[in-house]
Structures are given as C-alpha cells and as structure tokens.
Amino acid sequence: MAGYDQPFIVKKIRKSTHAHHGGAWKIAYADFVTAMMAFFLLLWLISMTTPEQKKGIADYFAPPNVSASDSGAGGVFGGTAMDQKEAKLSGSATDAKSMTAPENDHPGPVIAVTSDVAGQQKIGSRAAQDVRITSTADMDFHSAAASIRQAWQADPDVSPVADNLLVQQTADGLDIEIMDQRGRPMFAEGSKYPFEVTRKAIAAIAPILQRLSNPIEISGYTAAGGTYDNPRYGAWELSMDRADTVRQILGEFGLSDDHISSVRGRAATAPMFPNDPYLPGNERVAITVLYTAPPVPPNMAP
C-alpha cells in the first residue's frame, strides 16, 4: 500500500542553556558590605570617644611646629634691612648714619632720629637664634611626647587610665595633663595623695623629663563647686599640695630639682573646659616643659 511508503519525520528539540555569568558580583557585594561595616564602626568609635580623647588623637598626629620663613636671618624683615627712605634693601647693611628732622615751625624741641643699623643686626641675629632654638625644642618635645606615650602604653597598670593622661605641644611648650574623668579620679577626693596608678604614671615620665634641659612648671587645678570640711583648707591649698606631691614623685624617680622652675596651685581659676567649669576634667595637675630663650651675650645686651 502507498501509506507504508510515507517517511517518518523525527523532531529533536535542543534546549539552549544560558551562558555562565561568573561570581564577580559576589566579590563586589562582599566589598560593599565590608565598607559599610567599617563605616558604621567608625561612627560608633567617634560617638564613644570623649572630647579629651579626640583632642589627644588630633595632637598626636599633628606635625611639629616649624618656622615658615625661608630666610637665614629669620628676623622681622626676612633678612632685609631698611634704608634711609624706609625701603627694603636686598641684604647688605649700610653704614650707621644720623638724620636730623627738619626745623619745626612751631615752638618746641627739635627731635633727632638716629638710624642704628648695627642694632637692627643684633636684633635680627637674636631672632634667628630664637628660631633655631625653638625648632630644636620642637623636635625634642615631639620625641619626648612619643616616649611618654610609649611608656604609659607599655605599663599594663597605666594603660587602662589612658583617658586621664594627655600630652600635647602648646605655645608655652610641652604640656602633660593628669586629669580626672567621671567615675575615675586620679587623686583621692579632697586629698593631696594620688592613687597608685597615678603614681606609676608620674614615675614613668620622670626619666624622660630628666633628659630635657628646659625648665618645668607644675600647676595644680581644681574643678569649680568643690566642698571642703575644713574652712582653712580649700581649693587653693589642695591644688598647691597636689602639685607639690607630683614634684616629689618626679624627684623620687629621677627628676632633679634644678629642672623645676615653679610649683603653684591655681584652684579653679583656669578650667580646662571653660564652658563647664564643674566637669571632673578640670580637676588636674599640669606639668609644662617650657620653651626657653637663649642666653644673651654681654655685648648684645639691650
């Protein structure tokens, strides 16, 4: 029959698969999640730090002060002198000359004006010496501050009270603050005697300060609003006694008396936080290593 000659048609359906996309998106997503976690961790750390900690961190990373002048003289006019017409010259000093003011039409004395170029040279030389010594002190203070922080961190007993200890360079010199924190004082209440951890923190810095030749001031401060049982013993006496106790501990662990220029108590007259003089952080003892002016030779005396 004709029907048996009809061919059979077989259809084969091939299912196509999508191309493999890889896992690069997973790496990008993991990086994004890690970055977000680090960002929120940074926000949490910033919100948990106190103003004293933030100030200490900023001072730790601040570069030391250097002279902004590129002149060798370092004087007021940057190495130049003034001529008779008050115009800047390029450096060489002129001979000292005297100028007399024109006659005065009105009654009165005639004023003589003397141009002392040699005196200007003395002042410029002295200013240059000040700049050099200040720069050297900046480097010494920066090194001393790093050594003090390292000494505190190396002591396991002192490191838990790191928030109570502050080292910073100021316009006066190197300032070391031993301050109270809320719930964590460094001295017994109303007493001049420090806790043992405070004593260790003070003892750790004595050998470092001994290596510096600059004079040292020790000042005691109290927070406002303190009450005292003895009417003859108040904030002034307490701040003075605490400063002197710090001096004694420094001397006991290696700081000679010739480094100390003054020990004083200032009560609540200079709070560290003027906006809130009642904060515990105002209760402190400050050890300040001062900048010193160079000795003036007899032939350059003013």
Domains of the chain: 116-302 (3.30.1330.60)
For 106, the token pair is: 């009105």
Q: What's the CA gap between 301 and 115, in Å, rounded?
A: 18
Report pLDDT for 254.
Answer: 95
Instruction: Indicate the range of 79-93, 199-213, 286-300 predicted with least confidence.
Output: 79-93
Across the range 284-296, mean pLDDT stands at 81
Closest CA to 131 of 288, 289, 293: 293
Closest CA to 242 of 258, 265, 262, 272: 265
Closest CA to 237 of 191, 270, 194: 191
For 248, the token pair is: 């004694």
Closest CA to 210 of 279, 256, 177: 256
Q: What's the CA gap between 79 and 89, in Å, rounded?
A: 9
Q: Which residue has the higher pLDDT, 174 or 15?
A: 174
Q: Residue 122 in contact with residue 187, Cβ under 8 Å?
A: no
Q: Which residue has the higher pLDDT, 70 or 238?
A: 238
Q: Which residue has the higher pLDDT, 173 or 293?
A: 173
Any alpha helices (H) in the chain, and if so which ranges? 24-48, 51-61, 117-154, 196-210, 235-252
Half-sphere exposure of 185 (CA within 13 A, CB side): 15
Whole-model pTM: value is 0.56
Q: Residue 265 in contact with residue 205, Cβ under 8 Å?
A: no
Query: How many Å separate Cα 27 from the centre of its chain?
Result: 43
Residue position matching structure tokens 């109570």: 164
Q: Residue 99 in contact with residue 115, Cβ under 8 Å?
A: yes
Quickly state the pLDDT bin for 292 (edges 50, 70, 90).
confident
pLDDT tens for 16-48 read: 666 656 678 888 889 999 999 999 988 888 888
Report pLDDT for 267.
Answer: 95
Torsion sign over Cα 70, 141, 53, 148: positive
Q: Which residue has the higher pLDDT, 25 or 150?
A: 150
93 pLDDT higher than 50: no
Q: Which residue has the higher pLDDT, 52 or 110?
A: 52
Report pLDDT for 150.
Answer: 93
Q: Residue 255 in contact with residue 206, Cβ under 8 Å?
A: yes
Torsion sign over Cα 271, 274, 277, 282: negative
